[in-house]
Amino acid sequence: MAATAAGAAEPPGLETQRREIETLVQNHDLRAGDSWYLLDRRWYEQWKEYVETGDQNSSSFPGQIDNTELFEELESYHLKERLVESEDFVLVPAEAWHKLLAWYSMVPEQPALERKVVDLPSTVKVEVYPVEIFLCLHSDMENVLTAQFSRADSINTIQKTMRKQFEVPDSAETRLWMKSSETSCERLRNIHSSVLDSCLSTGMTVIMELRNADGTWPSSRPQIMRNSVEEQDSYRGQPGVCGLTNLGNTCFMNSALQCLSNTPPLTEYFLRNAYLEELNFTNPLGMKGEIAEAYADVIKQMWSGRHYSVVPRIFKTKVGHFASQFLGYQQHDSQELLSFLLDGLHEDLNRVKNKEYIELRDADGRPDQEVAEEAWRNHQRRNDSVIVDTFHGLFKSTLVCPECHKVSVTFDPFCYLSVPLPASKERVMEVFFVSLDPAAKPVQHRLVVPKAGKVSDLCAALSQTTQVPANQMVVADVFNHRFYKIYHADEYLSCILDRDDIFVYELSQGSLEEDGDEVVLALYLRERSHYRDYGSGSSSYGTSLFGHPLLISTPRSQCSQEALYHLFLQRLARYVRPLDPSEEVEEEEEADDEEEELYKTQTNGVSDEEGDDESEKPGPSKREAVGQGEGSESDANDAAEHVEAGSTNSEGKDGSVAEDGPSTSDTEGPSTAEGPRAAKEEEDEEEEGGEGEEKEQEQATPPSPQSNERHPKRKCCHTKRRKLLFSIQAVNSNGTTERGMGEGGSAFSFSSQPYVAIDWDPDMKKKYYNENEAEKYVKHPSMEIPHKQTTVQLQQCIELFTTVETLEEENPWYCPTCKKHQLATKKLDLWSLPEVLIIHLKRFSYTKYSREKLDTIVDFPLRNLDFSGCLLKKTGTDGEPPSRYDLIAVSNHYGGLRDGHYTSYARNKDNAQWYYFDDSKVTYAREEQIMTNAAYLLFYQRQDKIRQPTLPNPREGSSSPTQSTNEVTGPQDGVDGATSCVTMETD
């Protein structure tokens, strides 16, 4: 500002003036951030001449300070370009300037030329020419203003200037973009960064954008929006009741986000924009504020009340960028995602900018209260954020050396409790028992066996029910009409999954002994195609497997073709009709020798036609193959590789059934699928067409014995022989033909586990094989007894968490007294609890010997979860800290170890109504629905922190009990709604 009155202060003597100004100019160091002023050189030189004369009446009196020669024109007072120090101007420190201004004043209306000292990478100097920047709003790019800023100014200074110039209210959330070229824009994320550090230079444009009412940013929307914007803007739903679109196996992320979204203190922190002042861009452990900003964007959109469903694509990209394990679209664990997100938000919002090193001290006999307070202070000296305020509590950890009995007590912070579930030592298995009696149907049994037991234990349990000696049983896993695995008695049951179709076969003699008098044959059933498979290059007849395989024990001396034919015919008598006496005649076969040899020596054991043949029948089990009845030899060989490798439950098997649907079967009457294997239900969704196929199969009738079909006749060696129902072939474990059996009763030698197949001509199979009867089975009374799921109290899990345990060998403790590592005993206790307590139920159990998911039902209270009995800290007026909690959210996991689906229940903070979130679909929920065996993460809020609802409950007064299934997502839920949201989220 110009001085308006000359001589505002009585100037000292001229010698005093000269001495004071020269001392200030010569001895004042340049310090970054200080202010210096430009003076016209000629005025300054005249002043020096004036004070040197010592005559106050001298004609060299300089008059008022006048910098006119430094300006291009006197309207804008824009500084001339390329001015040179000491030729055009001089620089004086602020103190000297103010003295001169007080003594001589300044030409009216002329501005003071204040300049900042900036710390450049190579030097410290006065910034004569500030950065000149163009300013505009994203919504009005034509209205551009020009402003000058020092390189030492912060981006926040620019933001405040723009808010003032464009009259943007303080309540509006904004963000700035730096436009350096026509096509390049970059976010100015750190508002505390300087203009210099942000690489802003003269001529660049800074654009301010305001967040939309629906929580999105204008720059995130595409250019062409059609009517979707108007539709979304018109929607006014309950804030927070918003789905999240599944981007491809991202249900785990959606479930965790919904639980955090319905955690009131965290959501309110973001909705009131408190995070903007606490973004930490310099934390080396953080994500430069990007995770916090991406999370804020999702929360703002979900709580805008303008979306049925939000697409968290940008958030997913950010998570994958900073945590490579979440890259791509594989299924993950919601607890792992939650752990990463809480840690990322904490570091991005950490109020501690420079973490100091703190040496931890042991208790050394000090009172717990003193040690705990010291530990919490030390924790907050390095970690101070909204996450710590909301989710962090304190453990007391006690270690005891087994030798010297040294006791070490420490207090450690925690963000969630991972509590174990009491593991049952027993397991329920369902198996099918196949009796030696040919007329007996397979019987489905439900058995209770030791979880860590062996196959022999399974046989022993079945023996008590069937009265068949356990040593006359062989256990096999049947998959896709083959034996996927034949188990030995000493193999562990842990290698058998619950979804496996397990058959137990009764044998006439002992089990699998290669050198015994008896040989156990694995018998497959195959159907021959009508035509030769010339396309395969072998000119052979293709075959396809069908029905259930059998294990049959027979003396080694009776392995001739004729003996085996009669043995197989006897075992199949229940569903294979023998030839009528009138048909038991010798017929001359019409096929030539070449055709017979081609069939007997074929290598294409599984034909391409099998897919068509099998497609009319639903799969036999809960893990029905994707391509039922493999159609090519390559498929058969792939399966053979899995079996021959000896893998019990290999990835090949599991991988092929990841998308299988369930199928069911009646116990008596026409088959609805393929018998016993169809009895179990898969947890996954049913494949399309399954029900229709089952109904079609139910309506089928057994083939008529009198059906007038053409039967192929074959000639062998130009002789006549008895007509046979089927032929016998030696095959490998996959059911592929390897070589022909001996002819005319010649015996066959088996060197290993033998696999044989009986091959049916299609017409003969249709006439003599009763497919409906073959698929029948009966249920043992044990199947009628409902299986009671184990239920445990949440309090039991917490008590189990606080029990004494011995450290594992892989993780010993170094005893400072013994001076060596020890397997000490460890006990964890709860010292203090946070406002929001997350309890992680450890359903996924991994040990050296087994991997499983525990489906135990945990009985957790929705209200009044009381920790007063296990909380060590005793404070407060009544001697007890607040220790009662109410449930606010649950993350659910449905499925097994390798697959599954995540959903969540959550209580809306505004209206206290519970909702069920299943990706983009949101429905009302009743409190009695919440406790299931799928509960995985429990979110509890301390009662003294719970606020009263601000809105009425939308369900109060509803008389319809079915309303709980009504969707609250509106007409745009699902594909349409998701599509409209995708266009709004594209960045």
Active centre residues (catalytic): 251, 901
Count of alpha carbons within 13 angstroms of residue 759, beta-carbon side: 25
Which phi and psi angles does 541 have, rounded to 5°?
-90, 130
Reduced to 3 states, what is the DSSP secondary structure of residue 556?
Answer: helix
Length of the chain: 987
- Asked if 822 contacts 842 with a C-beta cutoff of 8 angstroms, the reply is no
Task: Write a three-state SS string for 587-621.
Answer: ECCCECHHHHHHHHCCCCCCCCCHHHHHCCCCCCC
- Lookup result for tokens 């790019």: 141
- Name 505's bridge partners: 434, 474
Query: Which residues touch 459 (CB under 8 Å, ≥6 apart)?
Result: 470, 471, 473, 475, 489, 504
Reduced to 3 states, what is the DSSP secondary structure of residue 745?
Answer: coil
Burial status of residue 981 (CB atoms within 10 A of its CB: 0-12, 13-18, 19 or more): buried
Cα gap 826→408, rounded to integer Å: 10
Give CA separation, 358 vs 382, 387, 412, in Å: 9, 21, 14
Which phi and psi angles does 907 have, rounded to 5°?
-100, 120
Count of alpha carbons within 13 angstroms of residue 964, beta-carbon side: 12
Cα gap 442→436, rounded to integer Å: 10
Cα gap 381→261, rounded to integer Å: 28
Cα gap 766→172, rounded to integer Å: 78
- Asked if 225 contacts 983 with a C-beta cutoff of 8 angstroms, the reply is yes
Burial status of residue 937 (CB atoms within 10 A of its CB: 0-12, 13-18, 19 or more): buried
- Asked if 105 contacts 64 with a C-beta cutoff of 8 angstroms, the reply is yes
- Lookup result for tokens 């068949």: 468
Cα gap 331→252, rounded to integer Å: 7
Task: Write a three-state SS string for 393-459.
Answer: EEEEEEEECCCCCCEEEEEEEECCEEEECCCCCEEEEEEEEECCCCCCCCEEEEEEEECCCEHHHHH
3-state helix, strand, coil in the chain (%, to 5): 30, 25, 45
- Asked if 679 contacts 444 with a C-beta cutoff of 8 angstroms, the reply is yes
Which phi and psi angles does 70 have, rounded to 5°?
-90, -10
Cα gap 449→426, rounded to integer Å: 6
- Asked if 15 contacts 51 with a C-beta cutoff of 8 angstroms, the reply is yes
Task: Name the pairing type of β-strands 443-450 and 778-779.
Answer: parallel
Count of alpha carbons within 13 angstroms of residue 974, beta-carbon side: 5
